[in-house]
Amino acid sequence: MDRATLLGMIGGIAVLTWGIYMGGSLSSYVDIPSFLIVFGGVIGAVFISFPLSKVIETTKILKIVFFEKQLEAEEVIATIVNLADIARKEGLLALEDSASQIKDDFLKRGILLVVDGTDPELVKSIMETELAFLEERHKEGQSLFETMGALAPAFGMIGTIIGLINMLKRLDDPSAVGPGMATALITTFYGSILANLLFLPIAAKLKVRSKQEILIKEVMIEGVLSIQAGENPRIIEEKLKAFLAPKLRKNINVKKGAESGELNAGKQAAKG
């Protein structure tokens, strides 16, 4: 579970609820028809805007936002440096056993391409192509929630207009004007809440996650090509450290030892 996402949503809802409670009655802000106009309108427009397969994948996208734990760049660099050390001591073919212990499929495929003797330019082309399509898939998920964020306030305004029309029909009853106006404005409130506390923050979180994953994939590509070129593991480490912020670089040496133990243990197990 991503604690920041959960904390932000719970905290935002709690603060808003407390503010409403301090200034009036919570029941005044509950209006089922207004919610149906906003939420139903947004869902309908999303189905019109995107293919059904993309809308269905929304649950997978939300899983990324709330639950998925991404690889840390420091851990990836430590793994690549250890692979480079194995390749330097025992040759590129020795990486085949180590590749089976790699959890990330993107890095594993790159290492296996190197083991198979694939031309370096072709390795780079294959990995960069896969990265480009990964980025496009990420943008589709982001655009879905950005669209929802743009539509919610619009449907809130539509609900307000509907409420005003109904209110104007009852102008002969002055006592109905105040409650009618309040009900009309609730749809705008719902639209703003859904857009700014749910849809747009999710789109922003997806964008951050995408940038993090793309950075890690770029580190992997550079690392695989460096291993194939037979570069010194220390040089590879310093080269890949340039992708990280200075405060993250000091963690690599500690994690590198742990990764080395895992790879060596896996290699011994494979031989046994």
Taking 70 as the pLDDT cut, the residues of the chain under it are 1, 68-69, 176, 248-272
User: Can you tell me the distance from the alpha carbon of 215 to that of 212, in angstroms, rounded to the nearest whole number?
Assistant: 5
Q: With contact defined as beta carbons under 8 Å apart, do 97 and 266 qualify?
A: yes
Q: Domain for residue 39, yes or no?
A: no
Give 68's contacts (C-beta < 8 A, 6+ positions apart).
2, 209
User: What confidence score (pLDDT) does residue 241 get?
Assistant: 87
User: What confidence score (pLDDT) does residue 17 get?
Assistant: 87
Structural domain boundaries, residue 4: 1-30
Q: Domain for residue 107, yes or no?
A: yes
User: What confidence score (pLDDT) does residue 264 get?
Assistant: 53
User: What confidence score (pLDDT) does residue 254 get?
Assistant: 43
Q: With contact defined as beta carbons under 8 Å apart, do 148 and 39 qualify?
A: no
User: What confidence score (pLDDT) does residue 259 get?
Assistant: 46
Q: Domain for residue 137, yes or no?
A: no
Q: Domain for residue 13, yes or no?
A: yes
Q: Domain for residue 57, yes or no?
A: no
User: What confidence score (pLDDT) does residue 169 get?
Assistant: 79
Q: Domain for residue 132, yes or no?
A: no
Q: How many domains does the chain have?
A: 2
Supply 190's token pair: 């719902």
Q: Domain for residue 111, yes or no?
A: yes
Supply 183's token pair: 């009900």
Using one digit for the tens of pLDDT, what is the confidence trace for 134-165? 999 889 889 999 999 999 999 999 999 988 88
Tell me the one-letter amino acid at 271. Answer: K
User: What confidence score (pLDDT) does residue 150 get?
Assistant: 95
